[in-house]
């Protein structure tokens, strides 16, 4: 029987592209998008959609039963910068939605879960360069604490109840189809839009703040490849380090100048600088490469060329 996939939080930055990619791969009718709000036309018009609150166990269970769902991709969350403003709401959303899907799998109502963690699980005492898979983790943000706790619960549900949950620690994600949702790395999307529209950008991080980043195509492919890989090969059931590129606002500005020589950038760091300072600059993802063959395709040059090309076609 064809598997049925449910995406919770499908209308966000990752969920939108993930839904479209999964529909192309598994068939439109087999991929059910859901969120607490409606999404883009391409998402709403290409397959089933349900308004669904991921924090309600009963509501998620009902949709799982209705569509005979076997796999859930949980993308609903409150991101790093927004979560600092609403700590309790962030905790409730990020943890309760995860427990709901873990418990559905524990009760054998679904077979497999994808849940993204983040580089926010690391803290200022973590080695910053080439951050190892296993290392000191003392997150200082509500978001990071929720992701680290989530990782431990994933590992626990796997070892205790055999729940097949799979996860990656996403770095900052760069995409052109959907706006980012309140993260600390949002600047790396805004900068391309502003470069084309205004020719200038005022960055909320300092010029030399290096952060790990990834182009959305790589991020979507990582999720699908991890979910399709053989379970026995996966040695990490908390969350895999995942890398692609690392750059500073100064470096991304230079890569844009190669295409738009008139582009200028200024710097006005805000509260997000402290969040960025607590995160790694680059990631060691050798375990993901070894276990399931992870290989990124987009570096900064390729990302800049693609972002500018695609954003130009939208205007």
Ligand X SMILES: NC(=O)c1ccc[n+]([C@@H]2O[C@H](COP(=O)([O-])OP(=O)(O)OC[C@H]3O[C@@H](n4cnc5c(N)ncnc54)[C@H](O)[C@@H]3O)[C@@H](O)[C@H]2O)c1
Q: What's the closest the beta carbon of residue 280 comes to ligand X, in angstroms?
A: 13
Tokens for 172, please give them: 């900052």
Q: What's the closest the beta carbon of residue 1 comes to ligand X, in angstroms?
A: 27
Going by the DSSP 8-state scheme, the letter that residue 141 receives in this structure is S
> From CA 53, how far away is CA 32, in angstroms rounded?
14
Tokens for 102, please give them: 């873990």
Count of all residues that appear for the chain in the document: 315
To the query of whether residue 143 is one of the catalytic residues in this protein, the response is yes
Contact positions vs ligand X (CB under 6 A): 8-9, 11-15, 35-37, 53-55, 75-77, 79, 93, 116, 118, 170, 172-173, 180-181, 183, 185
Q: What's the closest the beta carbon of residue 83 comes to ligand X, in angstroms?
A: 9
Residue of 143, 158, 170, 192 with catalytic role: 143
Shorter beta-carbon distance to ligand X: residue 260 or 274: 274
Q: What's the closest the beta carbon of residue 300 comes to ligand X, in angstroms?
A: 16
Residues 6+ apart with CB under 8 A from 258: 304
Distance of CA 19 to the CA centre of its chain: 13
Q: Which residue has the tokens 């080695």?
A: 127
Q: How do strand 211-215 and strand 245-247 relate by DSSP bridges?
A: antiparallel
- 3-state DSSP assignment of residue 162: coil
> From CA 288, how far away is CA 284, in angstroms rounded?
9
Q: Around Cβ 152, how many Cβ atoms within 10 Å? A: 13
Residue of this chain nearest to ligand X (CB atom): 12
Going by the DSSP 8-state scheme, the letter that residue 283 receives in this structure is B
Shorter beta-carbon distance to ligand X: residue 195 or 223: 223
Distance of CA 36 to the CA centre of its chain: 18
Q: Which residue has the tokens 């580089």?
A: 119
Q: What's the closest the beta carbon of residue 14 comes to ligand X, in angstroms?
A: 4
| Residues belonging to the active site | 143
């Amino acid at each position: 029987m064809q598997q049925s996939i449910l995406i919770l939080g499908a209308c966000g930055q990752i969920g939108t592209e993930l839904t479209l990619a999964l529909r192309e791969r598994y068939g439109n009718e087999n991929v059910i998008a859901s969120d607490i709000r409606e999404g883009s036309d391409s998402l709403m018009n290409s397959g089933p959609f349900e308004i669904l609150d991921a924090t309600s166990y009963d509501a998620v269970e009902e949709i799982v039963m209705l569509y005979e769902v076997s796999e859930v991709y949980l993308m609903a969350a409150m991101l790093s910068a927004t979560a600092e403003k609403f700590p309790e709401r962030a905790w409730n959303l990020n943890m309760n939605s995860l427990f709901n899907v873990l418990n559905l799998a524990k009760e054998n109502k679904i077979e497999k879960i994808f849940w993204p963690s983040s580089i926010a699980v690391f803290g200022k005492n973590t080695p910053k360069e080439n951050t190892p898979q296993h290392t000191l983790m003392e997150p200082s943000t509500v978001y990071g604490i929720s992701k680290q706790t989530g990782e431990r619960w994933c590992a626990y549900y796997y070892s205790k109840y055999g729940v097949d949950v799979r996860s990656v620690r996403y770095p900052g994600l760069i995409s052109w189809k959907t706006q980012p949702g309140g993260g600390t790395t949002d600047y790396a999307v805004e900068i391309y839009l502003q470069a084309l529209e205004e020719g200038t950008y005022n960055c909320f991080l300092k010029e030399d703040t290096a952060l790990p980043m990834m182009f959305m195509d790589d991020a979507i492919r990582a999720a699908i490849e991890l979910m399709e890989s053989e379970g026995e090969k996966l040695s990490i059931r908390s969350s895999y380090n995942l890398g692609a590129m690392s750059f500073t606002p100064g470096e991304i500005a230079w890569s844009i100048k190669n295409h738009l020589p008139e582009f200028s950038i200024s710097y006005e760091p805000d509260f997000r600088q402290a969040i960025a300072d607590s995160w790694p600059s680059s990631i060691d993802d050798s375990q993901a490469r070894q276990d399931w063959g992870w290989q990124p395709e987009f570096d900064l040059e390729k990302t800049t060329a693609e972002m500018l090309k695609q954003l130009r076609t939208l205007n």
